[in-house]
Structure 1
Amino acid sequence: MLAIRLARLEPVHPDDLAVAATAWHLRGDRQQTMALLLEALRLDPLHGVAAKGLAAQGPPLSADIMRALLWHAETDPDAAQALIKHALSANQPLAYVTGRCIHCVVPPGTWELTVRWRQMVLVQSRMAASDQARLAALPIPDGLRGIADPVVSANGVDLVSGPIDASWLSAPRLTAIVEPGIKARWIVQAMDLACPSRPVTLLLRDGDRVLSRHIISPRPTGSPALAALATKVADVPALAIDPPADAVCPGLFFELTGEPVTVPGVVGTDDGIVDIVVPVYGDLEATKACFNALLTRSPGTAMRILAIDDASPDERISRFLDGLAAAGKLVLIRNPGNLGFVRSVNIGMAQHPGRDVVLLNADTLVSDGWLGRLRAAAHRDADTGTVTPWSNDATICSYPAANASTALASVDIDALNRLAGQYLAGQVLDIPTAVGFCMYIRRDCLARVGWFDADAFGTGYGEENDFCLRAAAAGWRHRMALDLFVGHVGSASFSTGKQARIDAALAILEQRYPGYQADINTFIAADPLRLARRRLDLAQLGGQGSPRPALVLCAQLGGGTDRFIDQLVKDRGKGGQDVLILRPAQPEAGHPTLRLEAPDAPHLTNLIYDAGTELDDLRADLRHLGVTGAELHHPAQMSGDLLSRLAGWFPYRAHIHDYGWICPRINLLDGDWNYCGEPETAQCEVCVATHGDLLGIDRSVTAWRDLTRQVLQGAQTVGCSSHDTANRMRRYVPTAHFQVAPAETARPAPPSPALPVRRPGEALRIVVPGAIGPPKGYGLLLDCARDAAERNLPLLFLILGYSMDDDALADTGRVFMTGRYKEEEAPALLAELRPHAALLPSVWPETWCYALTHVMDAGLPVAAFDLGAQAERLRMAGGGLLLPAGLPAKALNDALLAAFPPQ
């Protein structure tokens, strides 16, 4: 009677008809059963109970029944069995889709199965003669998932199931909304964004035990809401799920992928093992190296490796993982299609609800003790949620370069890990977010905060930041384990597509957490990791064995000064004595700094000290490195107080490279860039006040000279490259111990090439060597070029190098520049230029001048002003055209043409 009443209810509902049909079936009335089931299927063309009931009545199956069974085969094993039974009874193959793969059931016999799309054959499978029915899997290429709607044929005949919907084969993108109901009830809506027209199955599990299975189906095909399913999960019917009261750690999972749906807020039993979750997709060699390190390096605590094969397109990777899994070295989970990094991570994290987890990229390299140090850092404080180690490529956790990647091949992972463990043992530091390449997550934090947001960050990037910000809002802290280093291959560059994903993720983060990027920038600017990076640099430097007794103090100035120091470093190195260089830098954010460099270890870039607050630390570190003496090469970028203090640490020598020791304008040049003649100090005060202090001293000229006089007097020796320099400086510091030695060691004179002969009517080609700025006579050279053009003089200037304004010189039509060159290229360039003579237009008394060496070695006659080391060197060489200082351009041009006439 109840069945009859259900069938008569208005409006008629297919579920009521299906229940009524069951009652009539039990009473043995096949006709009434069939009528009710057919009506139910008419009202809901995808009604599973009706379709299965009709199929149970026996063949043949109509197209409508088969369509409904095919639709349910993904989630309903009974529907799949009905299809299989039909194929066998009808003695014809039939294809259906489960697990995002085409399955074909074939009766006994010999079969040739083909999957084709348009004109392409995607899969071919030959099944030899057999008297048994068989089931064949026909996976299509991953690149065509969600694109191809293939047709399956058997022995050349298309199967009656027809073309397969492309979305049924696409990689799943499962999503769900879970709301709390009355008491412990969950109200759940779920769907597959990649295939919104098919149902999804949820498993209610308590640990590894499956408690119940639930299917959530979209509304019938005729529903207007169906078109919106791809974007609105809220349109999916809700399902109430009641976890049993005795469940210890209940959770919901998608059956198809194993992805977790909810975190119940309780933690399972911790067995002391840490799950290492490694999603794998590409890069075979990096993947092999990663697992080799995991399996051969002592982790320092118990672990289980979970490899998630995210449908890798490289069959070699799949075979490699199969081999490790078969040997019992890891647990392998293979996704039904490429789910992406975030979904793969969620699957791995959900495997054991009681364990902490480490998310590890498949392009990382671990060293001995790595996991034990991570776990210790994670459990040092009760509110620690995540822990991240150092790496060569880990954004804010990077070393040796701060906030920048360093190629893995250029760092020694094991050595750095040992140093970190030795010199930063047990140290942790708060960071604003974990970095996902190697991220330890405590289970209690994960249980409270929830899984990574795969819907928003499914393609990867930003998911760990979102998790960390949610965790921070819940009171969890994120730490960095300073005693651990993990290598990371990373990526040196981004494709356009990848950069677009990064930009999109950052936009989501900024929308969800306003000020997030500003907080990261604040952390970077404050750089709380600076001292730890410096400690690691010092550990590396100190571990190289030999002491470094010599400290060279000089700013990075370029030109001859840097060349002199480079040669000094080479000479000391040849003698087995490594050198340290201390370079003052311009103030950053109001804080002057000092940077310690080891020329033989240029990768150690973190030896930076605050000149105001860390000088005692610097002095202690220098003594620890074996420094016993210093060389002061230039006072640039140092305050007087800093210069005096540094000079008092060790016995020292000084060197004169220019006149910055006595002249704040450095080169003894006035405001018109002419040699000042070295007047009384009172005039110097006026000059500096009027034309500017290029050295940046913090006192008057008088006070500066008083200070530098004391420094130079205290030096064991004051090196000068020329007698002219020593004599000039002696007037200001008469009691200093000056010592003259050429800046370049004497070398055999090169064979003098045959100089080009200037023929009548040929322009005089004058080479000008060096980097030509105001002290080197740029203004004078420009005037000479303009004068040559105006008077149409047979005169060309060839700059072996470059100038401060090449365009202005080139516009005269009388100047040609070679551009920057290497020292060893000078002879060849001079041979190409074929100059008749050389001009050194420096307007200040040089202390040496390396550019002069090039033209002298070439055997060229040289013209220069009778001033400074340039004049001294030309006299000692027994030649050259020495001109009076201050000679104007017109007179200089006339002198050159007169000195080097045609022959």
Structure 2
Amino acid sequence: MLGQLSRIFRRYAEMNLALDRPGVTLTDPQGRAYGEITRIALRRHRIHVEGWAEAERVGLSVNRTRAWTVPAVIDGGSARRGFSLDIPCEAGPLDLLAERAAGQPASRQSLPGFSRAGLLRARLPLALRFARSLAVLAPLIHRWKWQGDLGARETVKERLGLVPRSEAVEIEAALLPETPPAAPPERAATLILPVYNAADLLPETLARIARNSGDAWRLLLIDDASPDPRVRPLLRDWAAGRPQVTLLENPANLGFIGTVNRGFAEARARWPGDPVVLVNSDAMVPPGWLPRLLAPLGEPDVASVTPMSNDAEIFTVPVICQRNDLAPGDGDALDAAAAGFDPRAGLAEAPTGVGFCMALAPRFLAQVPEFDTTFGRGYGEENDWCRKVAALGGRHLCASNLFVEHRGGQSFGNADKQRLLERNLRVIAARYPEYDAEVQEFIRRDPLATGRLALGLVLAAQRQAQMQAQSQAGPVPVYLAHALGGGAESYLQGRIAQATRAGQSALVLRVGQGHRWKLELHGPSGATRGLTNDFALVARLVALLPERRIVYSCGVGARDAAALPGQLLQLAGQGGEVEVLLHDFFPISPSYTLLGDDGAYHGVPRAGQGEVRAQNRAQNRAQDRVHRYQGPDGRVTPLAEWQENWGRLLAAARRIEVFSGSSRDILAEAYPQVAARIAVVPHALPAVPPRIAPGTGEGGAPVIGVLGNIGAQKGAALLQEMSRALARSGAARLVVLGQLDPAYALAAPSLVHGSYELRDLPGLVARYGICGWLMPSIWPETFSFTTHEMLATGLPVVAFDLGAQGEAVARAAAQGAPAALLPLRGDAAAAARGTLAALRDLQAARGAA
């Protein structure tokens, strides 16, 4: 137990240890400066070096590990070129290599590095923090270890910093009532619309105000001396015959703030008790917008109300602070959905309002009657007003039951907007030092996440329908995915990236985390996330996609996995599309690797065969147990019922995609009725490692490399026993490039390197002297990215003769690659001897060739 805790702490320290070293000036042998190192840092077990240099190429070296990059010009026309390098953490002298001219040897300069003793000392303060964290996480650890809750496991890993912390927040079912809310009553209000050019937008903007604002509004329409000769006649013609419209014409340009202040003064003088609503000339108001915007002002401490929009900073849909342009009709469709939100649940307090469409309470406008002219032509003035009013007790709300399209940047142009923003935000930061922290906290807890997610789904459906009309896309994909990472996640992210590049969206329903469901809506402008334990809420949100394709990617880790097939069919709806991707064998058995309780693979478990196999009790009794599923309520689902439920999902699938011939055969044996619909589509590697020359182990003893994170199904127990056998014989050692399940340990001199990136492989092979690879996986993998990466390096590869990994190695061997298969039987010592013999034979054959 202590050894396991020690190994967990080592990984915890690697992921959380942060050290910095001072920068240095880079000088040539004559003492002339040619660059500067501005940052040397250790983060997440990698050494990062940044700076600039007058050099064609720069490299980083620690012992036998090297990495190179080509600096990029950072000052136009200057010789100064910036660079950033990172390599796996290694104790030892850290050197910067610089090739300053073609054909000349690289110069070398020592940098402040990280000694073994220094790294050990730095870990000591983390030990107490680690112990405290374990104490706090004890209930979750109990749920993970003793109740098999994989969601608890992921939460523990996240809290310990072993994986990135989730950005998602909990979503609220109350926002989406079963019965649409009643429309609020109309209330008198004064609209202020400052105009400067925008002649192409004004007809629609004005028509929408007249058509969609009800009967209790009045409008102060103020032309700020627009130089476009079309504007003033247009405004005069439109205002004529509309008694609720007052047209004011500035004799000279006052700028946005001056124009708005003129409107404020006019409104206070004529209608002092009514709220004022700022409306930009590029704000396209939808039907029934005004009563919904004004309703929250009924609370005496509410100072301003802003709607959701496609371009409204922290109130933007679907991704916070990420503007996206809308197609005709999108804005009204989004508002029609927003109008069905519960008005009370849809209110969120914010540090500011956004002035493109903002209602202001008369009480607070009387106390702060103007925008500050310090902000020049505009941008930031409403933030300043909101901060002043907040000091008087006023609150600023966003009404997520209202969506107003903002065709932003029309008044000043995007370049001018950016320049004005940068200047004015500096003023805000100086006046209100706490403001930025409040904005960041709003973003972190995102009280509008539910509305963003719901409206994002409506927008996804809109865009997909537009593409379908042009035969450019099918239904929106809704993926059921796990939280375990690995090849399945890489493939899923590739699919999502392909969709978003094409302007489409994808929804991921992720299981196996702290909440039962994590929803991730991915689109061209980014991702929106939310958490819930309520499947009914998930179903209501998915129903916002009238046409959808339900794609099973993987459900391992779900709290109630036995319910998943039925839930997916419910989400698909009558006649909906279903697709199944076989990344593991969860649809065949709760033991998704098909390993028995004894940790061995005994073939494909099939319903109805358990009684026959159970006669051979010595081998199969424990195996039969793992092919039954116990749900969170204690109910046991036998294998027959499990396969019946998943069989219905497979029967409904229009497409069943597997990634190897081995997987096709296994699935067809379990479900012969779907064999004809199984498509074999092997993965392509997202990134291919370079060819690597074999390393030379110290003292001539071979070094067997093992690539990837190794858990029980990947052969962790086998590696543990192999390392002990090799330690006794001294014939070789193992080096795991990746993580090893802390429940297992390698005997010295074998070791676990820890996390790596694919680009690190050449340096790591040289560092450890790796002469060949062993793929130790003991389950029939559906596809093995790691095996293909091993083969791509050109080093000899040995694997066991089962699953997709065996299939890949056999194919490579048939094509002349240095690859060989071993039978998966016998003890670990025999496996070690077989691996060594195979690697020697492969090396000899390559040498002879």
Q: Secondary structure at the match of 2:594?
A: coil
Aligned to 2:643: 705
Report the equivalent of 2:404: 483
- Partner residue in 2 for 1:840: 775
Which position in structure 1 is the counterpart of 2:331? 420
Asked if 1:560 corresponds to 2:483, the answer is no
Question: Does 2:790 match 1:855?
Answer: yes
Deviation of the 1:844 alpha carbon: 0.9
> Which letter maps to 1:548?
A
- The question of 1:766 aligning with 2:692 is answered no
Structure 2 counterpart of 1:210: none
Residue 751 of structure 2 corresponds to which residue in structure 1?
815
C-alpha deviation, 1:864, in angstroms: 1.7
Residue by residue, what CA displacement relative to the aligned partner does 1:104-143 show, whole Å, maximum 9, x if unpaired? xxxxxxxxxxxxxxxxxxxxxxxxxxxxxxxxxxxxxxxx
Choose from 321, 327, 332 the match for 1:405.
321
Distance 1:584 1:446 in 2: 44
The aligned amino acid for 1:687 is R
Q: Residue 674 of structure 1 contacts residue 843 of structure 1 at CA under 8 Å; is this kept in 2? A: yes
Q: Does 1:642 align with 2:562?
A: no
Superposed counterparts of 1:365-384, under 5 Å: 367-369=282-284, 383=298
How far apart in 1 are the matches of 2:734 and 2:583? Answer: 31
Partner of 1:605: 528
Matches within 5 A, 1:290-309: 300=206, 301-304=219-222
Q: Identity rate of aligned residues, in percent?
A: 19
Alpha-carbon spacing, 1:665–1:754, altered in 2? closer, same or farther (3 Å) = closer
3-state SS of 1:524 partner: coil
Q: 2: distance between equivalents of 1:471 and 1:742?
A: 56
Check conservation: 2:629, 2:637, Cα contact below 8 A: no
Q: How does 1:773-792 map to 2 (within 5 A)?
A: 773-789=711-727, 791-792=729-730
Specify the SS of the correspondent of 1:328: coil
Q: Secondary structure at the match of 1:772?
A: coil
Deviation at 1:661, TM superposition (A): 0.8
1:354 has 2:270 as partner:
yes
User: 1:408-462 CA deviation, whole Å, 9 max, x = no partner?
Assistant: 5xx33xx3797324542694945254742326345655578887999xx998765
CA–CA distance in structure 1, aligned partners of residues 633 and 702 of structure 2: 39
Instruction: Classify 1:331/1:645 alpha carbon distance in 2 versus 1 (closer, same or farther; 3 Å).
Output: closer
Return closer, same or farther for 1:681/1:350 CA change in 2, 3 Å cut-off: farther
The answer to whether 1:667 aligns with 2:593 is yes
Residues 605, 684 of structure 1: CA spacing in aligned structure 2 closer, same or farther, 3 A cutoff?
A: farther
Cα distance between partner residues in 2 of 1:543 and 1:502: 45
Give SS of 2:511's match. strand
How far apart are 1:839 and its partner, in Å? 0.3
Query: In structure 2, what is the Cα distance between the partners aligned to 1:649 and 1:485?
Result: 37
Aligned to 1:803: 739
Alignment check: 8 A CA contact 1:658 1:847 kept: yes
Contact preservation (8 Å) 2:715, 2:777:
yes
Could you tell me which residue of structure 2 aligns to residue 891 of structure 1?
830
The answer on 1:736 being equivalent to 2:674 is yes
Query: Which whole-Å CA distance do the structure 2 matches of 1:816 and 1:382 have between them?
Result: 62
Q: Which residue of 2 aligns with 1:164?
A: none
Query: In the alignment, does 2:360 pair up with 1:437?
Result: no
Separation (CA, whole Å) in 2 of partners of 1:783 and 1:759: 21
Aligned CA-pair RMSD? 6.0
Q: CA deviation at 1:660?
A: 0.5
Distance 2:449 2:492 in 1: 33
Q: For residue 843 of structure 1, what is the amino acid of its counterpart?
A: I
Deviations 1:125-178 (A, max 9, x none): xxxxxxxxxxxxxxxxxxxxxxxxxxxxxxxxxxxxxxxxxxxxxxxxxxxxxx
The amino acid of 2:782's aligned partner reads: T
Alignment check: 8 A CA contact 1:594 1:608 kept = yes
User: 2: distance between equivalents of 1:505 and 1:821?
Assistant: 35
- Mapped to 2, the partners of 1:433 and 1:745 lie a distance apart of 47
Distance (whole Å) between structure 2 residues aligned to residue 566 and residue 365 of structure 1: 39
Residues 735 and 750, structure 2, Cα contact 8 Å, conserved in 1: yes
Give the whole-Å Cα distance in 1 for the aligned partners of 2:791 and 2:399: 64
Unaligned runs of 5+ in 2: 1-187, 207-218, 226-248, 373-381, 409-416, 612-620, 845-849
Shift of residue 755 of structure 1?
5.6
Q: Could you report, residue by residue, the CA deviation over 1:725-781 in whole angstroms, capped at 9, with x for unpaired residues?
A: 33333332222225666543799xx99969649799512132222332332223433
What are the within-5 Å matches in structure 2 for residues 239-254 of structure 1? Answer: none
Matching residue of 1:586: 511
Cα distance per residue 1:581-633 (max 9 Å; x no partner): 553233999774665655xx36363799974256477457343xxx5x66544
Q: How far apart are the structure 2 equivalents of 1:499 and 1:688?
A: 63
User: What's the CA shift for 1:367?
Assistant: 1.4
Contact conserved, 2:628 with 2:636, CA < 8 A, in 1? no
C-alpha separation in 2, matches of 1:681 and 1:554: 29
Partners of 1:807 and 1:684 in 2: CA distance: 21
1:840 deviation in Å?
A: 0.2
| 3-state SS of 1:302 partner | strand
List aligned pairs for 1:89-488, cutoff 5 A.
274=192, 300=206, 301-304=219-222, 327-330=252-255, 352-354=268-270, 367-369=282-284, 383=298, 386-391=304-309, 397-401=315-319, 404-406=320-322, 411-412=324-325, 415=326, 419-421=330-332, 423-424=334-335, 427=339, 429-430=343-344, 431=347, 433=349, 435-438=352-355, 440-441=358-359, 444-446=362-364, 462-465=387-390, 481-485=402-406
Q: Separation in 2 of the partners of 1:588 and 1:757?
A: 40
Aligned residue type for 1:562 = E
* Higher Cα radius of gyration: 1
Counterpart Cα distance in 2 of 1:769 and 1:695: 39
Distance 1:853 1:562 in 2: 17
Cα distance in 2, alignment partners of residues 797 and 493 from structure 1: 56
Amino acid at match of 2:454: L
- Is the 1:669–1:844 Cα contact (8 Å) retained in structure 2? yes
Q: Which amino acid aligns with 2:798?
A: A
Using the TM superposition, give the Cα deviation of residue 556 of structure 1 relative to its aligned residue in structure 2, in angstroms: 4.6
- 1:681-760 aligned at under 5 Å gives the runs 681=610, 683=621, 687-688=625-626, 699-715=637-653, 718-738=656-676, 743-744=681-682, 756=694
The one-letter code matched in structure 1 to 2:488 is: T
1:874 and 2:806 correspond: no
CA distance in 2, matches of 1:371, 1:464: 28
Q: Distance in 2 between matches of 1:468 and 1:452?
A: 18
CA contact (8 A) 1:717 1:738 kept: no
Show the counterpart of 2:26: none
CA contact (8 A) 1:864 1:871 kept: yes
Matched residue SS, 1:710: helix
Structure 2 distance, partners of 1:686, 1:714, is: 28
- With over 3 angstroms needed to count, the CA separation of the structure-2 counterparts of 1:554 and 1:381, relative to structure 1, is closer
- Residue 70 (structure 2) aligns with: none
Pick aligned residue for 1:538 from 453, 457, 461: 461
From the superposition, tell whether residues 370 and 731 of structure 1 become closer, same or farther in structure 2 (CA, over 3 Å).
closer
Alpha-carbon contact 2:593-2:779 (below 8 Å) kept: yes
Instruction: Give 5+ residue unaligned stretches, structure 1.
Output: 1-269, 277-289, 308-323, 335-343, 508-516
Q: TM-score by structure 2 length?
A: 0.51
| SS state at 1:864 partner | strand
